[in-house]
Amino acid sequence: MFSARLASILVAAIAASLLLSGCAPVGHDDGTAAAPAFPSRPRETPVAAPVPPVVVPVPAIGTAATATTARTAVYVKPGGAIKLSLANPRPSGGPLTFLVVQSIDGWLEVNLPDRPNGSRGWVNASAVSLHSLEYSLRVSTEQNTLTLYRNNMLEKTYSVATGTGGTPSPRGSFYLTELLAPTNAGYGPYAFGLSAYSEVLTSFGGGPGQIGLHGTEDSASIGKSASHGCIRMSNADITALATELPLGTPVTIE
């Protein structure tokens, strides 16, 4: 039975396509899998992540920007040409969320949930709502661990599974883009989408090769290099993080 706190973040189930890929429900050290990472047919339910209170200006840990319109224009520079237009909510059903880099005269430079990894652009501050962040995550692909920090203070270190040598987890600075409750077997009770994409797989299981942080039914894979790039946690650990981490939370993969 879910706790009252956990139940409070669940939303009504709707059909949505989980575009996270680069991982597999049952992984093997040789990079093979029993089934594709995420099917192309919509079978997942988006979950509303905890939303922290609005705080401006940008705090030390960071600020998440959540779109408040049906589409958000992303500009090359403040007041410049439009780089792209992103739908809100995302294809998964979750809210369109950015991680703020800097703020200048009513414009926000943000990290984008798009290829290539590390993409940035500018959005009008009037098109988003801002939320302060206090948590951050750091993944070690060498030690297969995930460390949770709160206000830059170490909270806990978890054992995880990361990508294999042929399908490694991409390294760099990313953030949590969505929180889902997968209904297809193999991914545990929760799956966070990351702004990271596989640098080996341009598509996978009907999705664009997006990297996820999720649970698993293959507990033996935890602590190993066993996925197509996603970060796997035990179901108990991903459930604990799902109750605490808001979208926009920074994630560093090393």
Q: 164 burial class (0-12, 13-18, 19+ CB within 10 angstroms)?
A: buried
> CB–CB of 94/177 below 8 Å?
yes
Q: Which residues pair with 225 in a beta bridge?
A: 162
- The whole-angstrom separation of Cα 37 and Cα 23 is 5
- The whole-angstrom separation of Cα 204 and Cα 253 is 21
230 is catalytic: yes
Q: Label the pairing between strands 225-227 and 162-163.
A: parallel
Catalytic residue among 23, 131, 228, 230, which? 230
Q: Report CA-CA distances (Å) from 97 to 23, 105, 239.
A: 23, 21, 21
23 is catalytic: no
| Strand locations in the chain (E) | 44-47, 63-67, 71-75, 82-87, 97-104, 107-111, 120-124, 128-132, 135-140, 145-150, 153-159, 162-163, 172-182, 191-197, 210-214, 225-227, 231-232, 250-253
Which sign does the torsion angle of CA 171, 90, 99, 183 carry?
negative
> CB–CB of 194/251 below 8 Å?
yes
Q: Which residues are catalytic?
A: 214, 230
